[in-house]
Amino acid sequence: MMEYLKIGNLHLKHRTILAPMASLTDIVFRRVVDEIGGVGLMVTELISAEGLRKKQDRTLSMIRSFDFNTPQFIQLFGSEPESFTDAVKYIEAETDFSGIDINMGCPVRKIIKKRAGAALLKDPKKIGEICRKVRKVISIPFTVKIRLGYEEENVFEILKVLENEGVDAVTVHFRLKTDGYSSEARWEYAERIKERSGLRIIGNGNILNRDEALEKLNLVDGIMIGRGAISNPFIFAEIQDKMPGPEDKKEITERIMALVEEYYPPELRLLRIKAFTKYLALDKPEAIKIKHKVYASKTFDEVKPFFRELDF
Ligand SMILES: Cc1cc2nc3c(=O)[nH]c(=O)nc-3n(C[C@H](O)[C@H](O)[C@H](O)COP(=O)(O)O)c2cc1C
The per-residue pLDDT string of the chain (312 residues; one tens digit each, 9 = 90 and over) reads: 557 899 999 999 999 999 999 999 999 999 999 999 999 999 999 999 999 999 999 999 999 999 999 999 999 999 999 999 999 999 999 999 999 999 999 999 999 999 999 999 999 999 999 999 999 999 999 999 999 999 999 999 999 999 999 999 999 999 999 998 988 999 999 999 999 999 999 999 999 999 999 999 999 999 999 999 999 999 999 999 999 999 999 999 999 999 999 999 999 999 999 999 999 988 888 899 999 999 999 999 999 999 999 988
Angle, CA 203 vertex, CA 202 and CA 208 arms, to 5°: 130
CA dist 277 and 254 (Å) reads: 14
Q: How far apart are CA 84 and CA 76, in angstroms?
A: 7
Q: Can you name the residues that pair with 43 across neighbouring β-strands? A: 73
Q: What gap in Å lies between CA 82 and CA 84, rounded to an integer?
A: 5
Region 5-239: CATH code = 3.20.20.70
Q: Where are the beta strands (DSSP E) in 105-196?
A: 142-149, 169-176
Taking the CA of residue 45 as reference, the ligand 1 atom at the shortest distance is 8
Q: Which residues line ligand 1 (CB under 6 A)?
A: 19-22, 24, 45-46, 75, 103, 105-106, 145, 173, 181, 204-207, 225-228
Residue nearest to atom 28 of ligand 1 (CA): 21
Give residue 43 CA to ligand 1 midpoint distance, Å.
11
- Ligand 1 atom, smallest distance to 103 CA: 11
Question: Which atom of ligand 1 is nearest to 225's Cα?
Answer: 26
> Coil, strand or helix: which one is 298?
coil
